[in-house]
Amino acid sequence: MKKSIPLLITLVLLVSCKSKQETANNNIEDTYKKSRLYDQENNRISQSKFYNQLLKNQDLSWAYVSNKTKFDKRLVAGQKHGVISNKATIIKQLNNTLDIDIASDKPIVIIYYPGKDPCNSGGSATKQTIAKAQQDFEDKLYNLAQIKPIYLYKSIAGLANNYDLSKWHQDPDGLIESLFFEYHYPCSSYLVISKEGEFTSDFGEFNYSEILATTKRLNQ
């Protein structure tokens, strides 16, 4: 009978941990559910109209927009393109703050995690399959442009559930967010800056193949 006590305690702990995780997931869902939906002009629209516009217009994405204790959803442009004049300043701040070495004559690839949301808190992928896909992407990116991606986060909440935290850095003083990511886009976003300063920022959930294609285009 005594031998069964440690097993019973272990089972209780496992159930307790699972219960806490489910509670945390329910809390994040409660924060985002029952969102009010808005078009790009900030007019409130129906759910059917919101998702129909997303389906019909491949250039659209959406973002979470804070509404006190809830988060509404707003249609936004899916990408932004432009040219920055202060690439050297950005490189210097990232290098000094994060203790990394970004080359000025290479493109820059940044993956940006805004914090925990329903998009990056669910799914069937395991931490192992995510790590394998990430490594495959890194290998292809290095073969393409001889660079490594920079992983930045605004809030670390939920990040360890899917990723190795040793690869991630906090966005220093909100630098990249303030320049390129106006809203909280679902899951994560990415940014590619060419060696000349031309950039593309892509908002919301993406595939690694998209980053490679954007890098190839801007690296020509």
Model pLDDT, residue 18:
44
Model pLDDT, residue 11:
37
Q: What's the rounded Cα separation, in Å, for the pair 202 and 210? A: 9
Model pLDDT, residue 217:
97
Model pLDDT, residue 32:
52
Tell me the C-alpha to C-alpha distance, in Å, between residue 138 and each of 6, 12, 25, 133, 150: 44, 40, 30, 9, 10
Model pLDDT, residue 220:
86
> 3-state DSSP call for residue 80?
strand
Q: What's the rounded Cα separation, in Å, for the pair 29 and 196? A: 42
Tokens of 178: 């303030």
Average pLDDT estimate for 197-217: 97
pLDDT, tens digit (0-9, with 9 covering 90-100), for 107-117: 999 999 999 99
pLDDT, tens digit (0-9, with 9 covering 90-100), for 32-74: 557 899 999 999 999 999 999 999 999 999 999 876 667 899 9
Model pLDDT, residue 2:
41
Handedness of CA 4, 10, 12, 18 (dihedral sign): negative
How many other β-carbons are positioned within 10 Å of the β-carbon of residue 74? Answer: 23
Is a pLDDT exceeding 80 seen at residue 215?
yes
> Which amino acid is residue 182, in one-letter code?
E
pLDDT, tens digit (0-9, with 9 covering 90-100), for 3-19: 444 444 333 444 444 44
